[in-house]
């Protein structure tokens, strides 16, 4: 059985709030009678039972997923909205996710949405959320970590997470009011250039920040997780080593920095071949199961892990061992704090 650390889903309480909105992000009824989720990223037709916990559990059971950590992807743009929108939406998701975690103990945990446009408010909401049943951390938008300088703005949240031994899923997503954000040309091949090339490139930059700077050193109790195998790092690390050997002989090689960094990656949306390379670069103890929270994604990841030419022991670590160890550490800390 797998533990899914990258599982996007909006439970009914949150979906009902989106149904009441008249601007993005919102859920609207189309002319065909179906519901559509309009975000700042795309418009997607929703299945009739998309907000049903029972339907999600049935999909998880069908695909051998024992436990899932619920989240909303930052590509929907909620974190980057003004406080008048981002805070009510964040609270709506956070409260609804906690209810689902309580109703289905042992099956769900959750990552919070935080209104990061106002860091003081985000810290207050994070403190509140970490006292709610089910929460193990939060999702943060990857554009905040494209460099160490950009990452420093998140120091107040990192301090809270360090105190609470929390997890951050750093997911591809934008910052509010960010004129320096990369602007890819997507006038052709939009899905490939934007949804893959740009995404993987930005995740790679996040990994450089986490693995090759001192940003995480003050926060030894924080677990940071990237998705999609941390971008292109497994494929480009040899090039980084080569350039280091040429340009700065004697410096610690990037491959060693990545191998020793306190960070996890999930294997969502990649193949068995990619997982093999990631195990070589990161180590199997740094990789967890991820699916985006879809039936298709769960099946894809299961097949990719099965096809990877790695040991059965490594497969078990990726499927469940690493995630169970991580969630157990957070929950142990939460239980100890509650007992004080």
Q: DSSP labels for 208-270?
A: HHHHHSSTTTT-TT-EEEESGGGTTHHHHHHHHHHHHHHHSTTSPPHHHHHHHSSEEEE-TT-
Going residue by residue through the chain (340 aa), what tens digit of pLDDT does each one get? Answer: 999 999 999 999 999 999 999 999 999 999 999 999 999 888 889 999 999 999 999 999 999 999 999 999 998 999 999 999 999 999 999 999 999 999 998 999 999 999 999 999 999 999 999 999 999 999 999 999 999 999 999 999 999 999 999 999 999 999 999 999 999 998 999 889 989 999 999 999 999 999 999 999 999 999 999 999 999 999 999 999 999 999 999 999 999 999 999 999 999 999 999 999 999 999 999 999 999 999 999 999 999 999 999 999 999 999 999 999 999 988 876 555 555 5
Strand segments (E) across 94-134: 108-112
Query: Are 117 and 176 in contact, with CB atoms under 8 Å apart?
Result: yes
Q: What residues contact 184, with CB distance under 8 A and at least 6 apart?
A: 193, 194, 197, 198
* pTM reported for the whole predicted model: 0.96
In the block, tokens 């879809």 appear at 294
Q: Across the strands, what pairs with 141?
A: 171
Q: What residues contact 219, with CB distance under 8 A and at least 6 apart?
A: 158, 159, 161, 162
Q: Where are the domains of the chain?
A: 2-9+53-339
In the block, tokens 């995630």 appear at 323
Query: Are 97 and 70 in contact, with CB atoms under 8 Å apart?
Result: yes
* Domain covering 2-9+53-339, topology: TIM Barrel (3.20.20)
Pairing verdict, β 287-288 and 263-266: parallel
């Amino acid at each position: 059985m797998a533990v899914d650390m990258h599982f996007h889903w909006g439970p009914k309480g949150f979906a009902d709030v989106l149904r009441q909105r008249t601007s993005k992000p919102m859920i609207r009824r189309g002319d065909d009678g179906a519901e559509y989720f309009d975000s700042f990223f795309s418009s997607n037709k929703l299945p009739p039972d998309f907000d049903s916990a029972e339907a999600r559990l049935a999909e998880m059971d069908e695909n051998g997923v024992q436990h899932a950590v619920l989240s909303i992807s930052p590509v929907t743009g909620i974190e980057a909205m003004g406080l008048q929108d981002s805070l009510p939406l964040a609270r709506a998701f956070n409260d609804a996710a906690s209810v689902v975690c309580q109703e289905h103990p042992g099956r769900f945990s959750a990552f919070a949405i935080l209104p990061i446009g106002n860091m003081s408010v985000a810290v207050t909401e994070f403190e509140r959320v970490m006292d709610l049943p089910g929460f193990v951390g939060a999702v943060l938008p990857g554009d905040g970590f494209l460099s160490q300088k950009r990452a420093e703005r998140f120091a107040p949240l990192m301090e809270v997470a360090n105190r609470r031994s929390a997890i951050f899923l750093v997911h591809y997503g934008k910052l509010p009011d960010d004129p320096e954000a990369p602007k890819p040309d997507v006038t052709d091949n939009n899905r490939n250039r934007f949804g893959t090339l740009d995404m993987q490139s930005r995740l790679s930059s996040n990994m450089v920040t986490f693995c090759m700077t001192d940003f995480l050193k003050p926060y030894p109790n924080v677990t940071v997780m990237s998705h999609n195998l941390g971008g292109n790092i497994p494929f480009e690390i040899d090039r980084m080593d080569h350039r280091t050997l040429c340009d700065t002989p004697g410096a610690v090689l990037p491959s060693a920095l990545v191998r020793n960094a306190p960070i996890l990656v999930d294997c969502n949306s990649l193949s068995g071949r990619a997982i093999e390379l990631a195990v070589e670069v990161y180590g199997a103890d740094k990789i967890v199961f991820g699916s985006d929270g879809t039936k298709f994604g769960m099946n894809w990841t299961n097949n990719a892990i099965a096809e990877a030419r790695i040991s059965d022991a490594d497969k078990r670590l990726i499927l469940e061992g690493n995630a169970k160890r991580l969630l157990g550490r957070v929950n142990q800390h939460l239980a100890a704090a509650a007992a004080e």
